[in-house]
Structure 1
């Protein structure tokens, strides 16, 4: 029998947001109530206080499910990284007290508190969507031969990487290239994590080659998330067998990557995407900049500047909130309609509007950046939710976001015989977009076609008798 949710306890999660809103006249107090409210949500949901966690697996064996890892990455980045921006607003640098000559910008301070309340509302609605629909089936519809799991992961790793390269060469199908790039990362990482403890030398060597090939592809992609995900997933699946090694190496490594990759990605994009240098040269320039040798950057010239402006996206969120609805009206369902348009593959609609241009229009309209600027400032999912309908838009959009992530994870486990192939491989490989929370258009396009790809993979595995009806 499925564990039932306690709706009374679920409502408790909304108390910090309500309290922070009531005390909005005290910006600092309101901010900290909202900021700490997210930590309350982490505790209440990850301990099973609101709804008991699934009992089919131990906690450490179900980390990739939406309630755990997706929440930690998505909500953690969204809600918990703004503390440095607040401290900077209050005049602190490296937590040193402001000088007596510092003049506090009260408008900025109240804007920080307001956006943090929006973040908390988004976090609460997101986990509500997950918890309401979290009903993992006790009996799977399909099953596979568990004794062949190592070989299956190994072949998935070998097959998905060339598929990524193939789709990358076919015009109009780049979105499938991105899918198989992410799936290849997960498949290779899982295969490597299973091959090392079993001491399968050939499998390990091949997986290591594919792993670092994927790693290099991620480095020259201009995106930081695939790199972090690859390291994170490898650590998660090596942890049961190598606890001390993982704790001593992977946690510091992830911390370093989290600090350096935003700068690396920015410099790489400025050089490679603009055609200034080759990808290899851009990667070298970006690496030098990430290590502290970027003389052209005023924003990232200090660690404090990075933590204030690059670690969190609240500065951009504030600009959107200040312009909407005062200067630009709420978009209503316009962004949802645009999201439906971008789902059509370009191979069937060559003149389809550019997704990038559609998204950037609202950035320009809000005055976040000026037209012609080389800076990319695409709004996050929570920002688009606000732009669509204010606080109500945030609640509805984030509830749907959590619900869809949860339902897809459950569907994957039904189709692929459980957690390992369903959530750890397919869901985490094809639906990494849920970890990042990009603009509506990117979310809709990726989720729709990833779902189609998931069904195709299920059909192929069923046809090949790799998975069978339970």
Structure 2
């Protein structure tokens, strides 16, 4: 880990709250801008996550300092991101929205976090499977708008019946580990489908080319889902997306040795990038808590090779550009 590692740049301690305040303000419209530009939507995801981390971290800094303008602005952007998570149809962003704010507030308000945030997280694990299922059945189908779907989903989650309890149990014992999907891949590879070796790595390198430069580039979702169909995990005519996690792709490449090698690379890459972020941005708060946790949230998920490498490479480039801008603006000073 090479700690302690001296930062190359620093930010004056008194400027942290204000810097997080401006990070929350500018990253959110940038995310919307990238969403509108053809072929650059992946940068929208980066800055959307950065906006969320900046608003949560900004709240944690502004509340004890009683900077009411900062609190109001950061709370507004946090609420916008939380609303987007609530209407997304996914469990993970909702859980992360609550968990991250609790983590940032914990050093200052330990008892409050333990009393409020821990029970809230446990409650979310119980009600979210039902809530998300209703969102997907209504909003995703295009029958109702997001606000109506959210209201119906909340009502269903609060008034859970036997069906909801069954869905929650299935989520807790199945989806949290996804071991069922893994065993299906193990049963089919290499008996029915041979190891891919470097094929998945080659596909990951193809995906790195921005679509704005290569409009006819293969669709990443289709590349990933093809091996799911070949292994018989789901039917090709099904509308379900079942992208394999990182550990599955590691196994499909070289079996047990693939898991050992690729997970080692995974951990080393995450640690090295986090160290560089801390060095570039003056320490843990901006480097790890804001930039690394914002731009590299893909490391928390362990996506398939193609999605992971594409996200990490372009997030790394974004990190270097942001650092260069902050140095030019003299916000980051030589240590």
Deviation at 1:258? 3.0
Residue of structure 1 aligned with 2:28, choices 157, 161, 171: 161
Cα deviation code 1:368-395 (max 9, x no counterpart): 1101212221111111111111100100
- What does 1:202-351 align with in structure 2 at a 5 Å threshold? 202-291=69-158, 293=160, 301=166, 303-351=168-216
Q: Which runs of 4+ in 1 moved over 6 A?
A: none
TM-aligned CA deviation for residue 267 of structure 1:
4.2
Paired position in structure 2 for 1:151? 18
**Does the 8 Å contact 2:21/2:73 carry over to 1?**
no
Moved more, 303-312 or 318-327: 303-312
SS of alignment partner, residue 10 of structure 2: strand
Scaled by the length of structure 1, the TM-score of the pair is 0.68
Asked if the contact 1:185–1:226 (Cα under 8 Å) also holds between the matched residues in 2, the reply is no
The answer for the alignment partner of 2:252 in structure 1 is 387
Shift of 1:165: 1.4
Tell me the CA shift for residue 270 of structure 1: 4.6
1:5-20 to structure 2, matched below 5 A, reads: none
Structure 2 residues without counterparts, runs of 5 or longer:
none
Q: Secondary structure at the match of 1:438?
A: coil
Distance 1:274 1:351 in 2: 28
CA distance in 2: counterparts of 1:292 and 1:358, whole angstroms? 40
Shift of 1:261: 3.2
Structure 1 window deviating more from structure 2 (182-191 vs 317-326): it is 317-326
Find the counterpart in structure 1 of residue 303 from structure 2. Answer: 438
C-alpha distance in 2, partners of 1:316/1:424?
A: 32
Residues 5 and 279, structure 2, Cα contact 8 Å, conserved in 1: no
Specify the SS of the correspondent of 2:330.
coil
Mapped contact 2:200–2:253 kept (Cα < 8 A): yes
The partner residue of 1:185 within 16, 29, 52 is: 52
Q: 1:267 to 1:216 in 2, by over 3 A?
A: same
- Give the deviation of 1:249 after TM superposition: 0.6
Q: 1:404-436 CA deviation, whole Å, 9 max, x = no partner?
A: 000000010111011111001000000011111
CA contact (8 A) 2:127 2:168 kept: no
Shift of 1:290: 4.0
Once residues 267 and 348 of structure 1 are traced to their aligned partners in structure 2, the CA distance between those partners, rounded to angstroms, is 38
Sort the Cα spacing of 1:328 and 1:290 in 2 relative to 1 into closer, same or farther, 3 A. farther
In structure 1, stretches of 5+ residues that fail to align are 1-133
Equivalent residues of 2:211, 2:217 under 8 A apart: yes
After superposition, what is the alpha-carbon deviation per residue over 1:95-153, rounded to whole angstroms, capped at 9, x for unaligned? xxxxxxxxxxxxxxxxxxxxxxxxxxxxxxxxxxxxxxx11353211111111111111
CA gap of 1:274–1:327, structure 2 versus 1, over 3 A, is farther
Q: Alignment partner of 1:205: what SS?
A: helix
Q: Is the 8 A contact 1:323 1:366 kept in 2?
A: yes
Q: Is the 8 A contact 1:355 1:442 kept in 2?
A: yes
Matches within 5 A, 1:443-458: 443-458=308-323
Change (3 A) 1:426 1:287: same
Counterpart among 22, 25, 38 of residue 171 in structure 1: 38
Structure 2 counterpart SS, 1:245: helix
Instruction: Describe the superposition over 1:45-97 as per-residue Cα deviations: whole angstroms up to 9, x where unpaired.
Output: xxxxxxxxxxxxxxxxxxxxxxxxxxxxxxxxxxxxxxxxxxxxxxxxxxxxx
Aligned residues: 335
Retained in 1: the 8 A contact 2:55–2:78? yes
Query: In the alignment, what sits opposite 2:67?
Result: 200
SS class of match (1:301)? helix
Kept in 2, the 8 Å contact 1:288–1:294? The answer is no
Equivalence map 1:31-70=2 (5 Å):
none
